[in-house]
Chain A
Amino acid sequence: MAAPKSVPRDAQVMAQILKDMGITEYEPRVINQMLEFTYRYVTTILEDAKIYSSHAKKASVDADDVRLAIQCRMDHSFTSPPPRDFLLEIARQKNQNPLPLIKPYAGPRLPPDRYCLTAPNYKLKSVHKKVTSSAGRITVPRLSVGACVTSRPSTPTLGTPSSQTVAVTAKVGTPASLAGQRFTVQIPSSQATVKPATGISSTTSVQNVLINPSLIGSKNILITTNMVSNPSNTTELNPLKRKHEDDDDYDAS
């Protein structure tokens, strides 16, 4: 084996930067991680700058393009917490409302179901399929794909499906720009009966979708729904669901 190579210049610069910022103790891999980050950041900026300069039909990339590229990326990825006067203002507004009274004997105190994570996120395919003979009420549960972004968790779900639509969308392809983010696939329980995984009683039919879990996690989610029929329209309440007479703003925003 040859003698150990000297540290490359970039790594030396990075080590010097860390020292200047006052970081004295760090694992050796930190330098590699910082270099990777730097490389990726600079490459992204320069690629964006190239796009901007070609859009402006310029011969070469100049400083303005780079500046614009940096500005756009800053707003997107490196956000900083809101400024103080903004926080004071929203705090003032929020703190004006009196604390709500607590209703006694209300069971587990949880927000309305749409804000909870308690809905089942799968349905089971039943053993026997029933073909409806009645007047074509075909219920297809539509799927909503919620994208959870780690850096900025904005609200996920799309609207809850109405049970009356005949949905044709069988494939949900997500754009490649969502690469690297996590998805939760939530199928809000439609008005059709939903039974939990542990048991399916044979009295009511329940039908649905088999989601191949191996597909989840890849960038493009391919979800096929089985168009099934639901002969009985009994909206039997899910025994797991709590009865909320005063379920405020369930569907309102």
Chain B
Amino acid sequence: MAAVPEPPSDGPSPSPSPSPAAPAPAPAPAPAPASPAPPPSPSPSPTLAVKAEAVESPGEGGRPAAGAAGPSPGPGPGPELSERHTLLAVLQFLKKNRFREAEETLRREASVQEALDDALRAAGPRGPDSVHQPDVSSVLSAYSNQGDPSLYEEYYSGLKAFIEAALDALKAELASLLYPVFVHLYLELVYNEHEREARHFFHRYHGDQEGYYQDDLRVLAGLSKKEHMQGNETVLDFRTSKFVLRISRDSYQCLKRHLQERHNNQIWNIVQEHLFIDVFDGMPRSKQQIELTSGGMAGEAKREANKTKVFFGLLKEPEIELPLDDEDEEGENEEGKPKKKKPKKDSLGAKSKKQDPNAPPQNRIPLPELKDSDKLDKIMIMKEATKRVKLGPDCLPSICFYTFLNAYQGLTAVDFTDDSSLIAGGFADSTVRVWSVTPKKLRSVKGATDLSLIDKESEDVLERIMDEKSACEFKMLLGHGGPVYGTSFSPDRNYLLSSSEDGTVRLWSLQTFTCLVGYKGHNYPVWDTQFSPYGYYFISGGHDRVARLWVTDHYQPLRIFSGHLSDVTCTRFHPNSNYVVTGSADRTIRLWDVLNGNCVRILTGHKGPIHSLVFSPNGRYLASGATDGRVLLWDIGHGLLVGELKGHTDTVYALKFSRDGEILASGSMDHTVKMWDTVKAFEDLETDDFSTATGHINLSDNSQELLLGSYLTKSTPVIGLHFTRRNLLLAAGAYNPQ
């Protein structure tokens, strides 16, 4: 006997093996063998449960179609193939329900011993996989449904022909179906080890896909064997997550009708199992509108993903009394809280006692208390704010460019302190160097014995603790084991963070210029790190596709933000420190809530990995830059794309809003710094419910009007930008002589 009737709680891999040889007609009798298999399986349960629902639904969906699709899956292979498959399915059913004698009799009469052995032998090589890597095989066994491999090209070309023949209004939406179907068909062929057919299929149709998918297609072209799939985490993630498509109801019904009427069960299976079609009621979108939000590796974002309320307002500034002898003549109101020029919300003046409805409660997340030195800093900030230059289209900021010479393309990260006194550069030779921008040199604190000698009560104790002998222009910090990809100063200028390819994030003290802590968690390169605007918290994102939230006094992260399909390349805090935004190589941007680690927004639209993110000073908007050279503007409250700034021709590595948010500066690998008018970009936005519900986005192509200035450097890609407190723009990059 070929196989003992195993109890249903056994792993899924042996049991569906005969039946998956049966394509379309099989779903009708298939629910019986499929249903015992999924539920009680232990560890890979989440993915398997998904598969179970997916497998059963083609059963139900297939049953009304089974009558029509009964005879054969396609014109080519004749009835004997389908009958054999039906036979195998029936045998499987009998085996499952332990009708041994009936099974024996049927098998004898139909003489299908060889067929079963073949099928089981095919399952054989999969067996050890399931023992070795149970989760991977369960993920990949989603491909155990297979049709005849030589028919796949016909399925695909049939779908293409149907779309070409569809109504013009629906064509654009239906065409977005082609890419996921293509990828899943290809992966099914690879998984079922039909290498030749897979390669032929790929070769014939990969040129039809959109340009922005070319990177993913190149990765796929390298996968020609099943073993390749198992090592590639991104491909596996692509399989378990459903590709999201948003199409209108008309298109959906047209598609459904087509897939159910013809013998297209293979494609229908794929649509059911691997695609999530988010249907909206409204006009179908045009090609242009779809282009704006497409590009994400797993399609667009579902509507439910962007529904959570986001507190994008800013936290209230603490009340600080100005010293009485201050000659700041900006009036103080009764509470002693000076009026600030920076408009935080639409309320006039700083007297608003009412809570901004969009601001989070003050104690939503614990924040460190304000120390005396912080209060002094805040007073300095307020004083500088009064001397700030007001920027606008007719008053552009001056740009001061710091060029790193002789860096030999080794400069990989740059950061400025908030008061613009220090610059940190992270290099490919694993060093971090800190320079002083002001004439004041860098000094480290004296040693312990000397410190015990000074008078602690004297007024200038903060200068006395500094060791004059150690004054120099720049300090080099050694300790990392690989190129340093991210640097971030703490707001109180005491610490510097650096993240590196060696998988650690290091905290350096800027008073002793030594390394204090190495935070190990990512075991893979960490691409970016940033301190919270209030200090104490910091985030890091790396190659392991997660971003982590840490605090300086815990050696393990507090939050893990997992959900991206590919590396997290850029991580930023929101000005109110309650949210974290991450940009990834899967071309999506996700906004995460620090309190509970949930993803509250998914934003798609970029056509390349995202390398820069910045929030507007009022917290409402987000600007992002990617390798496609576009800068996109998003409204966080609604989760919609509200602006697109075209102009750069290469990756945008640096973005910064001016202090009051009127100007957005962008620096790119094409050696330019461009300035954009954001007041105009954000005025009269239409973010009504219609566009939120349907995703219809109408952007006016006004990039040229918004571009206020474009400044070319001498072959120096710009990787860092910073507005000083008085609105002078600082930029940094390494001179690249080629």
Contacts and interface: CB of A to CB of B under 8 A. Distances in A.
A112 B552 CA distance: 11
Interface stretch (A137-145, A148-156, A213-221, A227-235): A148-156
B558 A83 contact: no
A106 B371 CA distance: 11
A111 B553 contact: yes
Given A82-B544, A84-B237, A102-B369, A109 B551 contact: yes
A83 B560 contact: no
B450 A102 contact: no
Interface stretch (A36-44, A56-64, A88-96): A88-96
A88 B599 CA distance: 12
Interface core residue of A95, A106, A109 (most chain B CB under 10 Å): A95
Contacts of B479: 117
Interface string B341-357: 00000000000000000
Nearest to B552: A109
Residue of A81, A101, A150 with most partner-chain B CB within 10 A = A81
Given A91-B546, A102-B367, A110-B516, A198 B447 contact: yes
A150 B524 contact: no
A150 B502 contact: yes
Interface string A13-29: 00000001110000000
A110 B508 CA distance: 11
Interface stretch (B83-91, B589-597, B722-730): B589-597
A106 B535 CA distance: 14
B517 A111 contact: yes
Interface in B438-473: 447-450, 452
The interface centre, meaning the residue of B44, B222, B553 with most chain A CB atoms within 10 A of its CB, is B553
A22 B562 contact: no
B515 A117 contact: yes
Interface in B557-581: 557-563, 565
Interface in A172-220: 182, 196-199, 201
Contacts of A239: 448, 452
B447 A199 contact: yes
A83 B233 contact: yes
Interface in B483-542: 494, 502-504, 507, 509, 514-518, 520, 523-524, 536
B368 interface: yes
B557 A110 contact: no
B136 A83 contact: yes
Contacts of B518: 117
Interface string A55-82: 0000000000000000000100011111
A81 B233 contact: yes
Contacts of B562: 84, 87-88, 90-91
Nearest to B544: A81
Contact of B135 (A85, A118, A150, A240): A85
Max chain B Cβ within 10 angstroms of own Cβ: one of A78, A81, A84, A91: A84
Contact of A105 (B46, B369, B448, B543): B369
A150 B236 CA distance: 26
A198 B553 contact: no
A66 to B, nearest CB: 13
Contacts of A99: 365-366, 558, 594-595
Contact of A81 (B218, B366, B516, B545): B545
Interface residues on B, range: 35 or more
A197 B482 CA distance: 29
B520 A100 contact: no
A127 B563 CA distance: 60
A1 interface: no
Contact of A90 (B240, B545, B560, B563): B560
Contacts of B447: 196-199
A136 interface: no
A150 to B, nearest CB: 5
A97 interface: yes
Contacts of A95: 559-560, 596-598
Contacts of A83: 135-136, 139, 233, 236
A108 B510 CA distance: 12
B231 interface: yes
Contacts of A90: 560, 562
A7 interface: no
Contacts of B523: 79, 81, 152-153
B233 A80 contact: yes
A153 B502 contact: yes
A16 to B, nearest CB: 13
B369 A117 contact: no
B218 A117 contact: no
A104 interface: yes
Contacts of B236: 83-84
B408 interface: no
A193 B448 CA distance: 14
B649 interface: no
Contacts of B450: 198
B232 interface: yes
Contact of B520 (A21, A110, A153): A153
Contact of A104 (B44, B369, B481, B597): B369
B233 A153 contact: no
A91 B221 CA distance: 32
Interface string B225-239: 000000111001100
Contact of A116 (B44, B449, B516, B543): B516
Contact of A115 (B222, B517, B597): B517
B481 A148 contact: yes
A85 B366 contact: no
Contacts of B555: 111-112, 115
A153 B560 contact: no
Nearest to B509: A108
A102 B536 contact: yes
B233 A84 contact: yes
Contacts of A152: 523
B517 A100 contact: no
B545 A85 contact: no
Interface in B586-613: 594-598
Given A80-B233, A110-B516, A116-B517, A91 B551 contact: no
A153 B500 CA distance: 13
B270 to A, nearest CB: 20
Contacts of A153: 502-504, 520, 523
Contacts of A199: 447-449
Interface in B214-266: 218, 221-222, 231-233, 236-237, 240-241
Contacts of B452: 239
B10 to A, nearest CB: 20
Contacts of A201: 449
A196 B368 contact: no
A73 B230 CA distance: 16
Nearest to B535: A109
Nearest to B218: A22
Contacts of B449: 196, 198-199, 201
Contacts of A111: 517, 552-555
B417 interface: no
B240 A182 contact: no
A155 B135 CA distance: 27
11 contacts: A21-B222, A84-B545, A85-B46, A86-B135, A87-B544, A88-B563, A102-B536, A104-B369, A110-B507, A116-B516, A240-B448
The 5 closest A-B pairs by CB, nearest first: A95-B597, A198-B447, A199-B449, A115-B555, A81-B544
